[in-house]
Amino acid sequence: MKNGTIKNIKKEVLSDNWYTLNKYTYEYQKEDGSWENQQRESYDRGNGACILLYNKKKRTVILTQQFRMPTYTNGNKNGMLIEVCAGLLDGDKPEKCIKKEAEEETGYRIHTVEKVMEGYTSPGAVTEIMHFFIGAYDENMRVSDGGGIDDETENIEVLEFDFEKAFTMIGRGEIKDVKTILLLQYAHISKILT
């Protein structure tokens, strides 16, 4: 199915508090040529980057854990979520952003990263494109305890897992963050830790 023509787009800002929630009203031309009115809400929080840090020799990965209010309100009993390191670009190039985020969140200063993919995180409602990276780490790269930036109200716990354990945590429902699942599956399929 190809995209129809869109016309008469009207944008209304519903909220501009933390990020921006817009409501779009427009006419969409269907395959049969007829037009229909549609309304959609779109949350614009900017684009982001995420990284799976891995140690090939130890066969380990670095993940983070922090409280995520939206998951708490949707069935995550304690709101804590295990994730790969991630952050918003905030005007930076994806590679620069993820190196900065890795150091802030995990305490590891990563010099070389590899972009493996990019994609929309939730295209039905969120504008964000996520840039996915992998990067090798070792103990010599540790420059701090990590944990995030105080003025960003981050309370991040840094976790080091055996890769096989982390990978099996997906099937047991202990890792539910999609970006983390994608990067762990990428590591498994590409055999970067074998």
- pLDDT tens-place string over residues 126-156: 999 999 999 999 999 999 989 887 776 678 9
Query: Is the domain of 24 the same as that of 105?
Result: no
Query: Is the domain of 15 the same as that of 100?
Result: no
Please enumerate, by residue number, every residue annotated as part of a binding site for Mg(2+).
86, 101, 105, 154
Closest CA to 129 of 137, 117, 139, 119: 119
- pLDDT tens-place string over residues 161-173: 999 999 999 999 9
86 within domain boundaries: yes
Instruction: Please tell me what DSSP assigns to residue 33.
Output: S
- pLDDT tens-place string over residues 76-115: 999 999 999 999 999 999 999 999 999 999 999 999 999 9
In angstroms, the CA 155 to CA 148 distance is 6
1 within domain boundaries: no
Which run of H or of E encompasses 6? strand 6-16
In this structure, what token pair is assigned to residue 164? 């096989």
Domain count for the chain, please give it.
Answer: 2
* The pLDDT of residue 2: 55
Query: Is the domain of 90 the same as that of 171?
Result: yes
Residue range(s) defining the domain that contains residue 124? 48-190
Query: Is the domain of 83 the same as that of 52?
Result: yes
Question: What is the pTM assigned to this prediction?
Answer: 0.92
**What letter represents residue 101's amino acid?**
E
Query: Is the domain of 132 the same as that of 182?
Result: yes
Query: Is the domain of 141 the same as that of 58?
Result: yes
Query: Is the domain of 40 the same as that of 127?
Result: no
Please enumerate, by residue number, every residue annotated as part of a binding site.
86, 101, 105, 154
3 state DSSP class of 91: coil
